[in-house]
Amino acid sequence: MDLKRDLELMYNYQREIFLLDRIKSLLSWDMETYMPKNAIDFRAEQKAYLSSMIHKKQSSDELFETLERLTSYIDSENLSEDDKINIQKFYKDVSKSRKLPPEFVKELSMVKSMAFAAWQEARDKKDFNVFSPHLKKIVELKRKEAEYIGLPGHPYNGLFDDYEEGMTVEKLKPQFDYLKKEIKSLLDDIKKSDTYKNQEFILMKKDFPADKQILLAKHVMEKIGLGSDFSRMDFSEHPFSSHVGAEDVRITTNIREHPLFAFKSTIHESGHALYESFIPKKYLYTILYDSPSCGLHESQSRFWEIMIASNKDFWEHYFGHFDEYYDLNGKKDLWYKEVNMIEPSLIRIESDEIHYPLHVILRFELELGLIDGTINVDDLPELWNEKMKDLIGVVPDSDKDGILQDSHWGLGYFGYFPTYAIGSIYASQLHKALRKDFPDIDKDIQNGDFSRIREWLKEKIFVYGRTRTAEDIIKNVTGEGLNPKVYVDYLRNKYKEIYDL
């Protein structure tokens, strides 16, 4: 065996796959932002071709045989620790990829592109029937993908592992059941309070011109640490972030009825983009230039959006900007309460932080049924409304504000939704650890200085890339793995003060 040659070949494959994947990311970003509507057929063909190329490289016999040889020499002193981690993780990735037939990968890519376009049309027409035939095909293919992957336990595990490596339905469902029970209990307590019964939006009813919303969104994006020389902001129906390449992260936002939507969604997506921007460049072009899980990635967006930008310290600084732009009459305490006011929302990404995990659990439960065959696509609108009534307490008037509100299923992202709640839990644990390490961090936040927080995240999270699991990283920072009790305690302590519980 020529160790040096095999190692070089492995890294060459990773470089080619990395470049192709980033080209595909750029096409996807364009598809959701600037692409003309009639270009969808050709764009679907382009993306399918790239998916086929990536799969062909990642499942090649030459690469697999090389990785088998490298794996047999995993204890060699001639391999660095990063080499060893890379070999082990890439071997798992490639082994999984080889389970999917090339024609299946190409078909799935084509179907997803067409389904996303159908989802956009269905939203415009507020008609689920426009989207449902495409969703049926995606569900069929995703069930097949789960069979090909063949992980033990619930068939959903084969899809979930792509987003949250090592997590299973069997591990997560009890955590979510606990979270659902505790949050519903907290909501019951809040709704009994006089503060809740008498609450009303006053400042939020003012006029918030779109141009000023965007100015404030761009301002906070830069303050968090995203410079215009390596990031940009655009608009899309559903806000997202995209890592197009080295020194190139892109986020999108949208203007909606809620005056803070653009501001909060920009902070959320900036959390993602910040993570992507500060993974060490030594991992560039390799599989280690990534986060180990979507839950950890979501922890960064939720950390900035909720733990930082929804707390009182943050508004000690930012209220002045909003007061100047929107004439809020200096009512800072009232503004803080309205920012955190609990009110059932039809829309997940517009939801307050207490209802938010219930929105996620709703989607998780529906996905489980779709993948194990106990739920049919045709029944989704009715089931959606039933679960919305039970968990959130409101029911949408149209499919647009209900089953069609998220782009994920049109993109084939089955297994992603639960990572939002995992991210919220991780974010609360990180927030607790941050305040333990820096008891005076509130002063930084009050002054609009996020540099110490950013450096702490670099040291505790970003520096590892994908070299460690999400659970290991969180344990290293907090002393424990995923713990929803920390999240519940955070919510109870915060809203006990706001609602005089």
Task: Give the residue numbers annotated as catalytic, written as ranges.
Answer: 269
Q: Residue 234 CA to chain centroid, in angstroms?
A: 18
Place of tokens 């600084």: 317
Q: How many CB atoms lie within 10 A of CB 325?
A: 15
Candidates 490, 88, 473, 89; CA nearest to 296 is 473
Determine the Cα angle at 371 with ends 366 and 375, to 5°: 50
Query: CA distances (Å), 449 to each of 225, 314, 441, 458, 488, in order?
Result: 10, 10, 10, 16, 28
Within 8 A by CB and 6+ apart from 120, the residues are 237, 410
Candidates 466, 465, 460, 455; CA nearest to 280 is 465
* Cα–Cα dist 382/246, whole Å: 44
In 176-331, beta strands by DSSP E: 231-235, 241-245, 248-253
* Cα–Cα dist 191/130, whole Å: 38
DSSP state letters, 114-138: HHHHHHHHHHHHT-HHHHHHHHHHH
Alpha helices in 254-311 (DSSP H): 261-277, 294-302
Q: Residue 469 CA to chain centroid, in angstroms?
A: 17
Residue type, 440: D
Two tokens at 243?
């890592």
Candidates 349, 87, 358, 370; CA nearest to 238 is 349
Candidates 429, 372, 379; CA nearest to 403 is 379
Cα torsion angle, 249, 254, 258, 262, sign: positive
Burial (CB < 10 A; 0-12, 13-18, 19+), residue 86, is buried
Two tokens at 61?
């016999």
* Cα–Cα dist 278/465, whole Å: 9
